[in-house]
Amino acid sequence: MTPIVLTFTFRRLLISIPVIVASTFVVFLLVTLSGDPLANLKGRNPPPSPQVIAVEAHRLYLDQPVLQRYWTWMTGVLRGDFGPSVRTNLDIGHEIAARFGVTLRLVAVAVVLALLLAVVVGVLSAVKQYSGIDYGFTFAAFLFLSMPSFWFAVLLKQGGISLNQLVGDQVVYTIGERSVVVDGGAWAQLADAAGHMVLPTVSLALISFGAWSRFQRASMLDVLNSDYVLFARAKGLTRRRVVVRHALRTALIPMTTVTALDFASLISGAVITETVFQWRGLGDFLVTSINQRDAYAVLAWLLVVAVAVIVFNLIADLLYALLDPRIRYE
């Protein structure tokens, strides 16, 4: 890694800071404008005393002017304090870390699965361009691209329930990220976690697979039509060797960028999948926080997602520079 790449990285990080600040500020205003976070408390029967409400308002910084609230929150974040939550006893920093772990597990496995599928399908499609296989794969890719994630997830869930009924045993789990009680040792724990992961992962993976396999196909076709591949063939190398050793290596480079970029958007985009399979991940956290007008919780979510986007953007750029010697950042 050359110093130029490092300077580039550093500059990119600097540029992203004002965007994050502006973004959190806008979202803070949006959530603040969306309603009174104390509505639930005030609506209680019997109504709580004014003192209770005042204490709660003070705890949530509501006794400060709007701009100052944001300032208090931001300086707090710099000290590692993510601010008070509307839900009493909820430590936002602690909670979001746990949620992030759950979502990351889901997204990471789904990305690996989608990537493997996309590369195999994309390469086969490109090598056998305009064949039956190519048309079949193309149609499949477009189909997954066109499915509402929510509809597809419910479809899979139904499939899972039918499968369980057919076998007469719990083969795949359709709700939650793990069972409440698991008998047995580490293996049983692992098997239980895996059983819960199957359906959400497949549903998330297949949706990314659609776009990625198209991309891999296009990138592979580019390479297959290039001069150096023609030359390799002319040297007398077998087609298989040329495809695997020469073409595929180059054709994988753009894929790394796309994967890294989409990885970040999947972290925020798994909302629907998490909701359908009732995983307590980041998506569920966001939906609950928005419904409760929990401004600082929403901001914490935004921070996590924004940092993920920036980190993965950087990874994408650096990988690109590392893998493709033609790329130079200035």
Partner 1 sequence: MSDETKTATRHKPPAATVRQRSQRELVLRRFLRHKAAVVSLVLFAAVVLLAFAGGALWRYDYADITSAVSVPPSLEHPFGTDNLGHDTFAQVLRGTQRSIEIALLIALLAGLVGTLWGAFSGYYRGITDSVMMRIADLVLTLPLLAVAAVLTRGTSGSWWFVALVIASLQWAYVSRVVRGVVLSLREKEYVEASRALGATDRWIIFRHLIPNALGPIIVNVTILVAAAILVETALSFLGLGVQPPDTSLGLLVSEADTAVSTRPWLFYFPGAFIVVIALTINFIGDGLRDAFDPTQRKVRT
Decide if residue 256 touches partner 1 (CB under 8 A): no
Decide if residue 315 touches partner 1 (CB under 8 A): no
Closer by beta carbon to partner 1, 60 or else 260: 260
Which of 16, 30, 14 has the alpha carbon at shortest distance from 70?
30
Considering only the stretches 6-14, 30-38, 97-105, 185-193, report the one whose residues sit in contact with partner 1 under the rule CB under 8 A.
30-38
Decide if residue 118 touches partner 1 (CB under 8 A): no
Calpha distance 45→268 (Å, rounded):
37
Question: What is the residue-wise DSSP string for 54-88?
Answer: HHHHHHTTTTS-HHHHHHHHHHHHHTT-----SST
Which of 29, 37, 41, 105 has the alpha carbon at shortest distance from 70?
29
Are 38 and 56 in contact by the 8 Å Cβ rule? The answer is yes
Calpha distance 288→272 (Å, rounded):
13
29 phi, psi to nearest 5 deg: -60, -45
CA atoms within 13 A on the CB side of 183: 0
Q: How many amino acids of this chain bind partner 1 (CB under 8 A)?
A: 55
Decide if residue 257 touches partner 1 (CB under 8 A): yes
Binding-residue pattern over the window 31 to 70 for partner 1, x denoting contact by CB under 8 A: x-xxx-----------------------------------
Decide if residue 272 touches partner 1 (CB under 8 A): yes
| Residues in contact with partner 1 by the rule CB under 8 A | 18-20, 22-23, 26-27, 30-31, 33-35, 129-130, 138-139, 142-143, 145-151, 154-155, 158, 161, 211, 214-215, 218, 221, 224-225, 230, 254, 257-258, 261, 268, 271-272, 275, 286-287, 290-291, 298, 301-302, 305-306, 309
